[in-house]
């Protein structure tokens, strides 16, 4: 029988995480295979091509920091980059470090089983390839499995159906069309103004109004770029130990919102609203921990909505009232509320009366029918765990990841799960991941994994795996920290509530990027505290 191909590491995914992993592992002499289901690199930026798709972290910070030459040579056209520009950047990175030649595209990993005798992972792809690897690294991203709700009749629709997270490569032209869009999270909020400007008519179906603040995106200026590039390394170092993995243009105020006068608060909120971006939530130190403090910001933003949206009924419908501001991901928009002042845009509340079914011509809600040429689902993702649990992963004793995580994800540091030796989840549940600038968190996890593999190799260690007690403590700590905040008060994909039947608990680690990095550094300095090692048995010893 032919021997199976064996490598040091198999990486799943060729987004920002997978590419950096490949670059570092290859540089350290590890044999590596990368499997990517798409036809190209880019991960989330490969798939999310919907109109208006844009990053809500500034480009100078949402980019790799590992190579001074790369960060100096690249110029971003705008403050917040649009999807095509981010994809251009990722392709440039793949070309600069000659990464694509080691990536197998159009190939999904569908099974990974750990063999306790050989201490290797056996990985099977949907093209029938089988590879053995000492290390199995899921670099599959946090929001990579689209959620298409099970609305009756979806297959009956005679027009075109799109999902923002699986957008076609060719330009979708909505000119002259009547379009329906379901969902008003970040993807809906970004695409609604753009589709509204093109379509004949746009109907927006809203279940929960999301909080959104202006991005104030502008073309990149030479001056701003120079400010960053002058001391890029120093700024990146600050980002790595900051709470969110990024630096704010307006400094946070380290006092309670309730300890200042209403005039002072108004001034602070006005400044941050004018500056744009996420800084509004950092106006005071208790906006995400104290209901009354939070409500001061929420009320102020509701007044802005009422000031922009001309129809009071529509303004009221767009104003969130059922959960604190910032506890679902805060959205950054460009002219979102303004879009509802257009004659061709209609907002339909589907809380009291949900969509009953999709029909041949459109959709039906109670006795109302809507006719559409196209329907856009901006309905989000089975986030954080969806992609991991769709792969048939089996660890020791045939334990499946589905079984292990049936009550919610269980990891130590968001990086590894007990029972699954040498399997790593880059920005996995239980790490800062989506509650941070993803680029800072990706680089940290990738470097930690590569350092770990080098440590194992240098010390003839065959496997690494968390102790159950360390994992239990970490899972508890992640929830403890979340419970000190207002985040669990919202139904959000952070909590898993957007997917029917999914366990509900706060999945990312919200203790801060810098604090988390320090914890990881201490764990390593303390001889990988909380991890168990299995030493390689030398051939001589094995023969005795």
| Residues binding ligand NAP (CB under 6 A) | 54-56, 143, 149, 164, 182-188, 190, 207-208, 329, 332, 350, 378-381, 434, 493, 498
Under 8 Å CB-to-CB from 380, ≥6 apart: which residues? Answer: 143, 146, 147, 165, 183, 185, 187, 493, 498
Phi-psi region of 236 (alpha: psi -120 to 50; beta: other; left: phi over 0): alpha
The nearest distance, CB 301 to ligand NAP, in angstroms, is: 17
Phi-psi region of 476 (alpha: psi -120 to 50; beta: other; left: phi over 0): alpha
- Separation of alpha carbons 187 and 437, rounded Å: 18
The nearest distance, CB 284 to ligand NAP, in angstroms, is: 23
Nearer to ligand NAP (CB atom), residue 183 or residue 514: 183
The nearest distance, CB 211 to ligand NAP, in angstroms, is: 11
The two structure tokens encoding residue 181:
């869009």
Q: How far is CA 451 from CA 438, 448, 521, in A?
A: 20, 5, 11
Nearer to ligand NAP (CB atom), residue 36 or residue 56: 56
The nearest distance, CB 141 to ligand NAP, in angstroms, is: 10
The nearest distance, CB 84 to ligand NAP, in angstroms, is: 14
The nearest distance, CB 332 to ligand NAP, in angstroms, is: 6
Nearer to ligand NAP (CB atom), residue 71 or residue 184: 184
Distance of CA 543 to the CA centre of its chain: 48
- State whether residue 196 is helix, strand or coil: helix
Nearer to ligand NAP (CB atom), residue 287 or residue 499: 499
Nearer to ligand NAP (CB atom), residue 212 or residue 417: 212
Are the CB atoms for 350 and 118 separated by under 8 Å?
Answer: no
Output the residue with the shortest Cβ distance to ligand NAP.
185
The nearest distance, CB 80 to ligand NAP, in angstroms, is: 8
Are the CB atoms for 195 and 174 separated by under 8 Å?
Answer: yes
Q: How far is CA 62 from CA 71, 443, 512, in A?
A: 11, 11, 17
According to DSSP, residue 506 is labeled -
The nearest distance, CB 435 to ligand NAP, in angstroms, is: 9
- State whether residue 401 is helix, strand or coil: helix
Dihedral, CA of residue 280, residue 286, residue 189 and residue 210, to nearest 10: -140
Nearer to ligand NAP (CB atom), residue 190 or residue 431: 190
Nearer to ligand NAP (CB atom), residue 91 or residue 491: 491
Nearer to ligand NAP (CB atom), residue 182 or residue 202: 182
Are the CB atoms for 409 and 428 separated by under 8 Å?
Answer: yes
Q: How far is CA 49 from CA 396, 525, 540, in A?
A: 39, 42, 56
Are the CB atoms for 357 and 350 separated by under 8 Å?
Answer: no
The nearest distance, CB 147 to ligand NAP, in angstroms, is: 6
Nearer to ligand NAP (CB atom), residue 110 or residue 161: 161
């Amino acid at each position: 029988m032919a021997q199976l191909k064996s490598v040091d590491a198999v990486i799943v995914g060729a987004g920002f995480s997978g590419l950096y992993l490949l670059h570092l592992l290859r540089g350290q002499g590890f044999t590596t295979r990368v499997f990517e289901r798409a036809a190209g690199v880019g991960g989330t930026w490969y798939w999310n091509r919907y109109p208006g798709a844009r990053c809500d972290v500034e480009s100078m910070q949402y980019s790799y920091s590992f190579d001074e030459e790369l960060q100096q040579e690249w110029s971003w056209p705008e403050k917040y980059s649009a999807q095509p520009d981010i994809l251009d950047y990722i392709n440039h990175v793949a070309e600069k470090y000659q990464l694509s030649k080691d990536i197998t595209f159009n190939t999904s990993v569908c099974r990974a089983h750990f063999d306790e005798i050989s201490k290797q992972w056996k990985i099977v792809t949907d093209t029938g390839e089988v590879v053995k690897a000492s290390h199995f690294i899921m670099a599959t991203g946090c929001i990579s499995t689209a959620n298409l709700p099970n609305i009756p009749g979806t297959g009956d629709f005679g027009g075109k159906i799109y999902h923002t997270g699986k957008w076609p490569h060719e330009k979708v032209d909505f000119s002259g069309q009547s379009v329906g869009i379901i969902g008003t999270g970040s993807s809906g909020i970004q695409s609604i103004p753009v589709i509204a400007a093109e379509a004949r008519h746009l109907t927006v179906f809203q279940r929960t109004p999301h909080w959104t603040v202006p991005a104030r995106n502008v073309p990149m200026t030479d001056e701003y770029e120079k400010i960053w590039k002058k001391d890029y390394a120093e700024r990146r170092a600050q980002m790595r130990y900051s709470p969110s993995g990024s630096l704010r243009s307006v400094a946070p105020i380290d006092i309670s919102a309730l300890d200042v006068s209403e005039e002072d608060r108004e001034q602070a909120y006005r400044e941050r609203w004018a500056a744009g971006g996420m800084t509004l939530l950092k106006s005071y130190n208790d906006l995400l921990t104290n209901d009354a403090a939070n409500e001061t910001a929420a009320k102020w933003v509701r007044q802005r909505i009422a000031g922009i949206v001309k129809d009071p009924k529509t303004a009221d419908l767009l104003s969130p009232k059922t959960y604190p501001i910032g506890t679902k991901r805060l959205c950054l928009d460009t002219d979102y509320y303004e879009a509802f002042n257009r004659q061709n845009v209609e907002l339909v509340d589907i809380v009291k009366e949900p969509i009953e079914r999709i029909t041949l011509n459109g959709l039906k809600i109670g006795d109302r029918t809507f006719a559409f040429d196209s329907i856009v689902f901006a309905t989000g993702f089975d986030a954080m765990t969806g992609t991991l649990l769709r792969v048939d992963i089996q660890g020791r004793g045939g334990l499946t990841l589905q079984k292990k995580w049936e009550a919610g994800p269980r990891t130590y540091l968001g990086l590894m799960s007990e029972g699954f030796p040498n399997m790593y989840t880059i920005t996995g549940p239980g790490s800062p991941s989506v509650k941070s600038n993803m680029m800072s968190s990706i680089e940290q996890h990738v470097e930690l994994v590569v350092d770990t593999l080098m440590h194992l190799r240098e010390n003839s260690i065959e496997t690494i795996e968390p102790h159950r007690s360390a994992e239990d403590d970490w899972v508890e700590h992640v929830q403890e920290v979340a419970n000190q905040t207002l985040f669990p008060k919202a139904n959000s994909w952070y909590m898993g509530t957007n997917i029917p039947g999914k366990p509900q608990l706060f999945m990312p680690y919200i203790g801060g990027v810098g604090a988390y990095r320090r914890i990881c550094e201490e764990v390593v300095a303390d001889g990988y505290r909380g991890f168990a090692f299995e030493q390689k048995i030398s051939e001589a010893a094995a023969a005795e």
